[in-house]
Structure 1
């Protein structure tokens, strides 16, 4: 899995002010506006394709595919195109866990060592801490050696063994750090408790009872109605590199269509997957011992649009990005699945919601042209950093290099590897948000810290040793 676009994660921690509502369009005018926003996004991102849905109550305002699900075959995207959903998978894993909790087969206070022995450093971490990202377990998707093997089929133990000797990031329960390792381990817990492999478990417990016919544990390559994934290569698109689905597993390994996700979301919020008390835990921001709200429950993020509470999650995996939103007070559901990495479906999703509410849209900014960087200069920026958000939460941020291009990865709900654009004087920008600036502080020819400026916030970060 890839790491989430920084803009969406920061928005949870420092929700920006929203201008006063304008007169909201209605009927055909609103539907035309939503259709125009989605169509423009495909062209401007650019994205190979997307499927978007906007449903208010029982009224479907938009459900349509745009662009090409497979460019080589010129296969158009449709409402029923199947996409990899990346970290949106986490709410399915969390729901399966909560079902077992309701059945008395598992407790949120149970420790990991009870089910997954062999990892003594993690043995005292609780199920709740895995669910709410407060475990402190090292993040396997930040392990460079492991990520260099992303095309290989790896046993789950091999993935965990790659990080088992790493030092804990912090004492369990004391801090929040979005962590794919926690949900990978929850998949192992589910298998140990039920005796059923994770792909079969989600099929039997979640997909079949709800008649989610397109939903599946993703195959290695696209087939049938499944979209082909693409990566951005400058101003053009190329087929994304193949990733073994043994790596994302229960943290990001599921596929489905937008209509089936809407059915899922309706069932989850309507008490047909877990009991209301369980869903309340999943969809409420957890709280650290110091009183800090994390902006995350169990498999779901909690944020705001103006005065409205928004339950959402996004995802990113090689060749795909996704975003899903539920606004309970307005019975509004917004879903955007794309087959292109490095784009921002969360931005389109928020603009679709803004159009429904009559709020101003997020305006596009223009990114300055890129400046050249030598190989030695690029190497000076590569490394792992910790960003400290305004609420005290520490966000891991990694800069890597692939084929002469620097990428930034932030550990957030649903991930996205972002190409960084060098602007000169140790400053970087990014096409997904041309207003963002990443300033690297240098010492002895090497970056030692970072300053992120975005949406009026200034975020400081330090390089890990």
Structure 2
């Protein structure tokens, strides 16, 4: 019996030491970038198989009021919105209301070449349509309230960047069109559809369609960094990025999102697989994007990942399916990118899991 307890004690100490070494390593990775206690900061979280391995906040959530960041703060997640938009499309397909191979002219009658461009092309960034974020005239609408139809009209007549299906080129316009199609097919607003079909079903009670007007409890404020110091983020009307980048969330809610996907709580596993498979270009070449996720790897171990950037905020998430590891990082200054940090944390966590 004494020997048994000795072994248990040794295991406990070994696990404790391993956990402490791991925590210090993650701290050092984050502190390399997020090292200003009095500046904007961020939140990082790591989970594996339902267990929290790491969760910490850095810096300030609000500079003027000198409010420290907490892991519960709400961030704008930018283009991580795209994975919600993609799943919303698949939910509608699961309900028999659309098909990803449908031409978009079925829903938007007057879209140029809409009889050839499919929903699949939009989901995979292979449509060639002009990305509105690269248009010089964007500043003329950036602060206007734009209906989805107005946003689509803003870029639909621009010359295409390449022939349909010829290459993968990350494109925000495609995901705006998808948001408009979600509204047309569902008969509901994009905001309400996401809230009812994803946020509520996943238990994501601290996730929102972004707003600068409504009171958002525990909101982290966004900042830029100039030569003379930090400034408040540039104002943009969220109807402009719309379904390509206008959601807000917390690290805990993003873990709930990942769990809901894993448990097929939102749609069937057969349907969800479409989001996580690689597709091919016209020439047969495979590219590393599914529907709303980059499909990459860490030393040969497959990952699903995506980042986001919107005025004042940056985000990044990496999920490792084989080990059920999820790493998420948010920043409330677009001067600090969590992208490489999150990737390095994922690498460290994977190494630990394989020991």
Taking structure 1 as the reference length, the TM-score comes to 0.69
> For the residues of structure 2 that align with 1:349 and 1:321, how far apart are their CA atoms?
12
Decide whether aligned partners of structure 1 residues 46 and 144 sit closer, same or farther in structure 2, where only a CA change above 3 A counts: farther
What residue is the counterpart of 1:61 in the other structure? 53
Per the TM alignment, residue 224 of structure 1 is displaced from its structure 2 partner at its CA by: 2.7
Q: What is the distance in 2 between the residues matched to 1:56 and 1:356?
A: 9
Deviation at 1:306, TM superposition (A): 0.9
Q: Is the 8 A contact 1:113 1:119 kept in 2?
A: yes
| Pairwise CA distance, 1:47 | 6.3
Instruction: Summarize deviations over 1:165-224 as a string: whole Å, max 9, x none.
Output: 212222222221111111100001010011001011101111111211001101125743
CA distance in 1, matches of 2:115, 2:336: 38
SS of corresponding position for 1:226 = coil
Q: Deviations over 1:93-145 (max 9, x none)?
A: 11111011111111111111111222233342111111111111111111111
Instruction: Determine which structure has the larger strand proportion and give its number.
Output: 1
**CA distance in 2: counterparts of 1:129 and 1:145, whole angstroms:** 25
Aligned residue for 1:336, secondary structure, equals: strand
Contact 2:112–2:157 at 8 Å: present in 1 too? Answer: no
Give the helix-richer structure, 1 or 2.
2
Structure 1 residue matching 2:91: 3-state secondary structure: helix
Residues 266-300 of structure 1, C-alpha deviation per residue, up to 9 Å, x if partnerless?
A: 11133222222222221122211222222100001
Q: Hey, what's the Cα distance between the residues in 1 that align with 2:228 and 2:49?
A: 39
For the pair 1:178 / 2:166, whether they are aligned, the reply is no
Q: Which residue of 2 aligns with 1:273?
A: 266
**Partner secondary structure for residue 78 of structure 1:** coil
Note closer, same or farther for the CA distance 1:300–1:215 as it changes in structure 2 (3 Å cut): same
Scaled by the length of structure 2, what TM-score is found?
0.89
Contact 1:87/1:316 (<8 A) preserved:
yes
CA separation in 2, counterparts of 1:44 and 1:275?
44
Q: Distance in 1 between matches of 2:150 and 2:38?
A: 37
Q: Is the 8 A contact 2:207 2:247 kept in 1?
A: yes
TM-align CA RMSD: 2.0
Residue matched to 2:187: 195
The 1-side partners of 2:35 and 2:242 are apart by 32
Determine which of 71, 79, 93 is the counterpart of 2:71.
79
Distance 1:269 1:46, change over 3 A: farther
Q: For residues 46 and 117 of structure 1, do their structure 2 counterparts lie closer, same or farther at Cα, with a shift above 3 Å needed?
A: farther
8 Å CA contact 2:38, 2:60 repeated in 1 = no
Seen in structure 2, the aligned counterparts of structure 1 residues 189 and 93 have a Cα distance that, compared at 3 Å, is same
Q: 1:148: Cα distance to partner?
A: 4.3
Contact 1:121 1:168 in 2 (8 A): no
Please report how far the alpha carbon of residue 342 of structure 1 lies from its aligned counterpart in structure 2 after TM superposition: 3.5
2:43 match: secondary structure: strand
Q: Which runs of 4+ in 1 moved over 4 A?
A: 44-47
User: Whole-Å Cα distance in 1 between the matches of residues 221 and 184 of structure 2?
Assistant: 33
CA contact (8 A) 2:82 2:175 kept: yes
Contact 2:149/2:180 (8 A) holds in 1: no
Q: Which residue of 1 aligns with 2:306?
A: 313
Q: After TM superposition, give the deviation of residue 59 of structure 1 in Å.
A: 2.4
What does residue 335 of structure 1 align with?
Answer: 328
